[in-house]
Copies of this chain bind each other. A is one copy, B any other.
């Protein structure tokens, strides 16, 4: 008996499913839990139609209702934290404590509450009022449901039913069609049950959130390019992302892709001389966090081949050998990671960590340190930038500063780039040459810090130049800015006052909303 999908305001069996699947327990590699349907086009079509209607109905609802709903949902996630964390841990092998219960779940609820506050506050819509000409504009909701295709690595905080994309799309006033990652269907089902319960008492359309477990790749392409879809958010592999991008672009549909990368970390000589051990410890922790399955995993480290560099490498190797090994999210991840490591090794990378065979059941992963010379890297710089999604990092040993610059000039677009430098001015000259090269290749530039922490701050940017994402101006994390992905610019020219949306009337709708009126940001009335 397959589990039901949530379409058009009710749980019902999938309509003509095209397949079925179960989750895999990553610790054993064995199927576990219930059987879930792979939906065919009929389910998607029904969701699109209901989502379109929901988008229309939503226009008459106040942002306060959206905010109440998001907060109520956050509360019920907390209330059910034990069950959620247990299920997520079973399906992903991520530990309940501290990761799921004390880090990811609170982050999830925090995001939902920040989004609720942004919906209530309304300042996110960047209202601009020109009183002399009576022209007014703001970002407002899109015209249909937003499809969210979630990743494997954060069953809660990036789940399409509870994560950052979900929070941003809903707070901006859009219905959501969530397609969970097949790696954690049970977790997604629990979240969908909670979200639906919160919906039922929200006064929002019941199709505000719809949920399907899995679809065929060709139906994914059809979904993101369908006339009734308003936009898509996708987090996952570059291969799938580029296919979806092509389909959406051709149809003129916005799509926001978070296709990850290798997040270069540059260690300048002064920093390594000053505090190499400390950095080796930080890097070891960062690149094994979540068994290395972070889109901000530091997958490429660039340093000079000198005495301090050699010491650093040895220490990092020891750290990685000593840190506990992890379990990868699934067979596909394990195979993909192994393949990527193999490609790196056949292109000149050497392994510095042990090769002990681990348990053969399930999806164990040995923390892995690879190293390659600057010369070898530059010979095949594109291949050497393959993402190895797992607890590993590739160190590039460059001959000198000039070669370091050459390596950086060959980097693709990435989410982040870190530069470690001497705590005083010793590395400043090198920094001044390297920073402009790295700045244009990453979304977030860090100093003396590993990239794995992605704070939910209004100033955060979790995005970057292609192919890290599809557009360099949008972020997937950081409320309210992430909401602008799911909004259109709407201008009102000479429109009569009572017909304006509340955000653009003379009177400030909340008494505290920020608006740009004539020449200034203000919380006052126009």
Contacts and interface: CB of A to CB of B under 8 A. Distances in A.
Interface of A: 56, 59, 128-130, 133, 135-137, 139, 142-143, 245-246, 249-250, 252-254, 413, 416, 431, 435-436, 439-441, 443-449, 455, 457-461, 463, 465-467, 470-475, 478, 481, 484, 487-496, 499, 514, 516, 520-521
30 contacts: A56-B436, A59-B436, A130-B460, A133-B457, A133-B459, A135-B455, A135-B457, A137-B460, A139-B473, A245-B249, A246-B250, A249-B250, A252-B466, A252-B467, A253-B466, A254-B472, A254-B473, A443-B491, A445-B491, A445-B493, A446-B493, A447-B499, A458-B516, A463-B489, A473-B487, A473-B488, A473-B489, A474-B489, A514-B521, A521-B521
Given A142-B472, A461-B490, A474-B489, 13 more contacts: A133-B457, A137-B478, A245-B249, A249-B250, A252-B470, A447-B496, A448-B494, A460-B491, A460-B493, A463-B489, A465-B488, A473-B488, A475-B491
Q: Which of A56, A143, A472, A521 has the most CB of B within 10 A?
A: A472
Contact of A458 (B128, B440, B447, B481): B128
Contact of A254 (B129, B246, B460, B471): B471
A1 to B, nearest CB: 41
Nearest to A134: B459
Nearest to A460: B135
A475 B490 CA distance: 10
Nearest to A486: B473
A135 B252 contact: no
Copies of this subunit = 2
Instruction: Tell me which of A246, A465, A475 has the highest count of chain B C-beta atoms within 10 A of its own C-beta.
Output: A465
A216 B242 CA distance: 28
Q: Which 4 A-B pairs have the closest CB atoms?
A: A252-B466, A461-B491, A521-B521, A472-B488
B490 A457 contact: no
Nearest to A493: B446
Contacts of A252: 413, 466-467, 470
Contacts of A440: 143
Contacts of A129: 459
A518 to B, nearest CB: 9
B135 A494 contact: no
Nearest to A468: B252
